[in-house]
Amino acid sequence: CLASQLGYIVEQKVLLGALWQAVRRLPGIRIINGCQINGIDHYSNDIKVTLSNGGRLSAKLLVAAEGAQSPVRKLMGIETHTK
């Protein structure tokens, strides 16, 4: 059952390709380039993100798709272990 899994590892290029295809079809999406995520506050119903330009965003879902050394994953305190 898919619902019993905590998460999945998907190659970055595959995930980004799928996300870009979806973004092109959906209205009302704003793309912000040239910013880093400096802080993440996780609440029961949403996530608030602080950007390096001082901006703040709120969302129901935050996708960490920056690769093996994910800054978002580190800010969330999600550890990884390598063999």
Q: Whole-model pTM?
A: 0.63
Distance CA 45, CA 10 (A): 25
Query: What's the mean per-residue pLDDT of the chain?
Result: 85
Residue 13: HSE in the Cβ half-sphere, 13 Å Cα cutoff: 0
Distance CA 22, CA 64 (A): 17
Instruction: Tell me: pLDDT of 21 over 80.
Output: yes
Distance CA 6, CA 29 (A): 27
Distance CA 77, CA 59 (A): 19
DSSP 6: S
Rounded percentage of the chain residues whose pLDDT exceeds 90? 30
